[in-house]
Amino acid sequence: MNHLLQVHSATIQFGGVKALQDVSFHLDQEDLLGLIGPNGAGKTTLMRYVTGINDSKTGHVELSGLKISGLPVYQRVKLGISMSQQLVRPFKSMSFLDNVVFAAGYHKTEKPWKTLFIKSRIQEKQRALTLLERLGIADMAMEMPEKAPLGYLKRLEVARAMAIDPKILILDEPLAGLNQREAEKLADTLSQLNQQGQSMILIEHNLREVMRICSRLVVLDNGRLLAEGSPKSVLSQSHVQEAYLGKELHVNP
């Protein structure tokens, strides 16, 4: 059977920097895959290849067995690939609710701002509100993001990425900047979404939470695939530990 997502041999270079060299991995339905590795390892670059922002010199990407490399970003979004950004960038002049309604527009049109004016806006708002509820931030629905603490903005970023009802939700460091208690709570929310059927790729440096909630791990180091498998088996490998030398391994509860 086909994997939900399969990346074959991605090789990406930026000028003289080899960001990825011959990287292959897969994601199965309802997986919560942790994508980890030191700074500059190529994690964001690899996910941008999946979404269509980056192009690879070699290889290809398949979604449920269909080749999608070559398709523009908006078509991949329509097929159900959604990615949140490493830095939170909500529209500051829109409420939490409208930020999610706007993001949902990508589902319908190449001009997402149109969703703010269309007749079905009540339905869109209801869907957006349900998403804010699932992320535990419905109390902020009518508030503006500029007044909100980071914990809320991180959850808003996830809600925005989920607005298109994605087949694959890719989250780039959703726990970064949160204290351990907040990180734990958001990781619990992500785990719940996954248990409700959301397939997910989680780029994250917080290894304690990665260990706790991910079903599989893929490790990159210096643009190469270093290891993949169950969290326990991967993090017990000495070359994975070495890649993190000098870094605090947040693996023990």
Ligand X SMILES: Nc1ncnc2c1ncn2[C@@H]1O[C@H](COP(=O)(O)OP(=O)(O)OP(=O)(O)O)[C@@H](O)[C@H]1O
Residues that bind ligand X (CB under 6 A): 14, 17, 19, 37, 39-45, 86
41 binds, among ligand X, Mg ion, none (CB under 5 to 8 A by kind): ligand X
Output the smallest distance, CB 33 to ligand X, in A. Answer: 15
19 binds, among Mg ion, ligand X, none (CB under 5 to 8 A by kind): ligand X
| Residue that has been written with the tokens 């086909």 in this structure | 2
Q: Which stretch binds Mg ion (CB under 5 A): 13-21, 44-52, 56-64, 94-102?
A: 44-52
DSSP class of residue 183 equals: H
CA 36, CA 159: separation in Å to the nearest integer?
A: 22
Of 37 and 90, which CB lies nearer to ligand X in the complex structure?
A: 37
Of 5 and 104, which CB lies nearer to ligand X in the complex structure?
A: 5
Rg (CA), the chain: 18
- Residues 90, 49, 70, CA angle at the centre, nearest 5°? 115
Q: Which stretch binds Mg ion (CB under 5 A): 8-16, 43-51, 60-68, 229-237?
A: 43-51
42 binds, among ligand X, Mg ion, none (CB under 5 to 8 A by kind): ligand X
User: Sign of the C-alpha dihedral, residues 112, 114, 117, 123?
Assistant: negative
Output the smallest distance, CB 92 to ligand X, in A. Answer: 24
Of 43 and 155, which CB lies nearer to ligand X in the complex structure?
A: 43
Any bridge partners for residue 32, and if so which?
200
The only residue of 6, 44, 69, 206 in contact with Mg ion, by rule CB under 5 A: 44
Other Cβ atoms within 10 Å of 7 Cβ, number = 24
100 neighbors 187 (Cβ within 8 angstroms): no
Output the smallest distance, CB 35 to ligand X, in A. Answer: 8
CA 217, CA 74: separation in Å to the nearest integer?
A: 28
Output the smallest distance, CB 253 to ligand X, in A. Answer: 23
159, burial (CB in 10 Å: exposed 0-12, middle 13-18, buried 19+): buried
Question: What does the block give as tokens for 218?
Answer: 């893929």
Of 27 and 128, which CB lies nearer to Mg ion in the complex structure?
A: 27
Question: What does the block give as tokens for 54?
Answer: 């980056």
39 binds, among ligand X, Mg ion, none (CB under 5 to 8 A by kind): ligand X
Output the smallest distance, CB 189 to Mg ion, in A. Answer: 21
58 neighbors 9 (Cβ within 8 angstroms): yes
- Contacts with Mg ion by CB under 5 A lie at 44
